[in-house]
Amino acid sequence: MKIAVCMYYNDAAADYGDYSKEINKIYCKKHDYDFIVANDENIEYYFKENTMTQTGEFWNNIINNTNPYYIRYPLLLTIIDHYDWVMWIDADAYFYNHASPLEDIIKHIELSHSSILSYSIKQYLSEQNKDFYINNGVFLLKNIDDNKTFLNKMINNDDIKDVAEKLHYTYDQSVFRYLYDTNYKNFKDNSFVLNYGVLQHFYFNELKYLKHIPYIHHLAGKNNDIRTKIIKNYYIRIKYFTWTNIFVTSSIGLSLSYILYNKFI
């Protein structure tokens, strides 16, 4: 199964996006997924064997004519034909280092559904949750024609944008929820919506209460300073404070102590 994980961020989100990029790159490398990261200058492709950068008129046209909240849709549409599944992850979200492979979810769903979505925290907080309370900071799409049609509609949404924002608010998420709620081109029928806390969750203090170990920590609704602090700290933790690094550092320390001891004794 060929999978790509995609994200985008601009300079306004770079303080935390640079760290979430590195964390997500580590996760993708661990599980042999292609990792595709876009900014306002280019698209970076991190493949298993090599890396590649794409820029030029094609990408400049998308950046100059697309609201940043909607960049994900032309990006996914550009690469979906090269994969079995594509995944979107927001720049303020990162994979936990211990998260299992995405195939562990996909294999239970792919024969019955072609989109994997995630409920927002409202589903966790109350039984009054509506079935369209989806948070689209994280989602997966199978490479099928219906999903390409969905992505095209997310890009060309002028005819529904006003009513979608009136009913569902929140930027591109309003159109996303509207298309789900109205079952546009079978999008709702084709979607399996995971409970809040399975694919993503929002707060650290929830972890001991959730039924599942989440794949992703998504700092939805946080200000940029908090996002930067939390994501940077997690990056430092998994980059420099692994058991391997601790063991190597301890071994070096013991070796130096032994040398100094024998030198001066």
Q: To the nearest whole number, what is the mean pLDDT of the chain?
A: 92
Binned at pLDDT 50, 70 and 90, residue 164 comes out as: very high
Structure tokens that stand for 205 in this block: 């203090």
Q: By 3-state DSSP, what share of the chain in percent is helix, strand and coil, each rounded to 5?
A: 50, 20, 35
- Work out the average pLDDT over 210-229: 96
Long-range Cβ pairs for the range 255-264 (8 Å, 24+): none
pLDDT (tens digit per residue) in 131-144: 999 999 999 999 99
229 vs 209, higher pLDDT? 229
Beta pairing partners, 34: 4
Per DSSP, the three-state class of 203 is coil
Q: How confident is the model at residue 259 (pLDDT cuts 50, 70, 90)?
A: low
Q: Which two tokens stand for residue 5?
A: 């994980």
The 3-class secondary structure across 35-60, one letter per residue, is EEEECCCCEEEECCCCEEEECCHHHH
44-80 pLDDT, tens digit per residue, is: 999 988 999 999 999 999 999 999 999 999 999 999 9
Length of the chain: 265
Q: Does the pLDDT value for residue 250 go beyond 70?
A: no
Provide mean pLDDT across the span 82-99.
Answer: 97
pTM: 0.90
**Structural domain boundaries in the chain:** 3-264
Query: b or e along 11-35 (b: 16 or more beta carbons within 10 Å of the residue's beta carbon)?
Result: eebebbbebbbebbbbbbeeeebbb
Does residue 257 have a pLDDT over 70?
no
Note the pLDDT of residue 47: 94
From residue 126, alpha-carbon distances to 130, 198, 208, 237 in Å are 10, 17, 18, 34
Which residues are bridge partners to 139 per DSSP?
Answer: 88
The amino acid present at 11, given as its one-letter code, is D
Residue 127's pLDDT is: 81
3-264 is a CATH 1.10.10.10 domain: no
List, for residues 2-24, the tens digit of each pLDDT value. Answer: 999 999 999 999 999 999 999 99
Q: What pLDDT, on a 0 to 100 scale, did the predictor assign at position 251? A: 52
